[in-house]
Chains A and B, each alone.
Chain A
Amino acid sequence: MKFLRMRPGYGEQLIAEGDVEVARDEERLVDEFRRQLEQGMWAAVPVTGDSGRREAEMVRAFEEIPRTTDRVIFFPRAAGGAC
């Protein structure tokens, strides 16, 4: 599983990677997930539905991430702006 973070001037950045079936990796991913949320990030998981349509799920806790997903994308939380 890869954790990607959108950043100005970069595009996405790989911030963590690991196998959730390996306890040590999972622990590291959990810590990183919490750290990103504490920094004010939102987390989303790209998913493909039964019909083959691509969708996204917002996740608020590590336990909500589907075990089979290969990537979680972090991006800054939304704020009402002046656009």
Chain B
Amino acid sequence: MTVALCATAIVVLALLWEVSMPWLDRKLEIRRANRASRRDGRDVLPGYDPGRERRAEQRARELLKSCVNEEEWAMYRDLGFVRVWGGESGETGEDVLSRDLRGVPYAYLIYPHRPVVAYLPQTGRLLNEYCVEFPDETRPYGSTRLPDSDDVLAKWMALKGDERRLISEANMHLPGRQVDPKMLQRDIWRLGRWERERLERARRAPAQPPRAAGSADPTS
């Protein structure tokens, strides 16, 4: 009995050895290659540096602010997205999205690193999602991703400058594939409220009496 168990154990160990040897060889090979590349300085991907990314985003925000309209900048700052009206870059206001729209105004919501969403502002109806990226294959820090605000500015410039070209490059999907439709409806509602408040503030602003020189500001 003992002899049989020992024989079985030996056979099992031999089989395990046979099976695991190639796996062990591969692991050792990978480890050797990694060690060699580190030694040769080929392990070039720099680590993620949150400070660098923050500085890049700060610069990108300044550039965005200097390019878009004041209202669009405030929209991005307050709401996290920008609305761009469609059909402005084509010849005589032609519809880029569809002839079915027959001149009905449409717009896009631009989010950083998310699909561009087309919708009808009059009804809030979502039309399509346009998935588009601007990958920088030179990967200066190992990533192809532009800072958030650069991504928004790239979409803004491309939509303003050549809407048809951008839309033709994008992957089109029905609403709801990537971006939650409930979130979009909420954002459209927030945008409406934001615009009303802004209009109200603008309407009230000139009516404020000029402050007397040297008087204390109660809000400061």
Interfacial residues, chain A to chain B (CB-CB below 8 A): 4, 6-12, 39-40, 42, 44, 46, 53-58, 73, 75-83
On whether the beta carbons of A83 and B114 are closer than 8 Å, the reply is: yes
Q: Tally chain B residues at the interface, Cβ within 8 Å.
A: 48
User: For the complex, what is the distance from the CA of A77 to the CA of B132, rounded to whole Å?
Assistant: 10
On whether the beta carbons of B57 and A78 are closer than 8 Å, the reply is: no
On whether the beta carbons of A7 and B158 are closer than 8 Å, the reply is: no
Q: How far is the CB of B119 from chain A (nearest CB, A)?
A: 17
Residues of chain A with a CB closer than 8 A to B57's CB: 11
User: For the complex, what is the distance from the CA of A46 to the CA of B66, rounded to whole Å?
Assistant: 9
User: For the complex, what is the distance from the CA of A69 to the CA of B154, rounded to whole Å?
Assistant: 18
Residues of chain A with a CB closer than 8 A to B153's CB: 6, 73, 75
Q: Which of B144-187 contact A (CB under 8 A)?
A: 144-147, 150, 153-154, 156-158, 160-162, 165-166, 169-171, 178
On whether the beta carbons of B139 and A8 are closer than 8 Å, the reply is: yes
Closest to A59 in B: B161
Q: Which of B73-93 contact A (CB under 8 A)?
A: none
Interfacial residues, chain B to chain A (CB-CB below 8 A): 52-53, 55-60, 62-63, 66-69, 113-115, 131-141, 143-147, 150, 153-154, 156-158, 160-162, 165-166, 169-171, 178
On whether the beta carbons of A11 and B59 are closer than 8 Å, the reply is: yes
Looking at the complex, which one of A11, A55, A58, A82 makes contact with B63 (CB distance below 8 Å)?
Answer: A11
Residues of chain B with a CB closer than 8 A to A55's CB: 160-161
Closest to A9 in B: B141
Residues of chain B with a CB closer than 8 A to A9's CB: 52-53, 56, 140-141, 143, 147
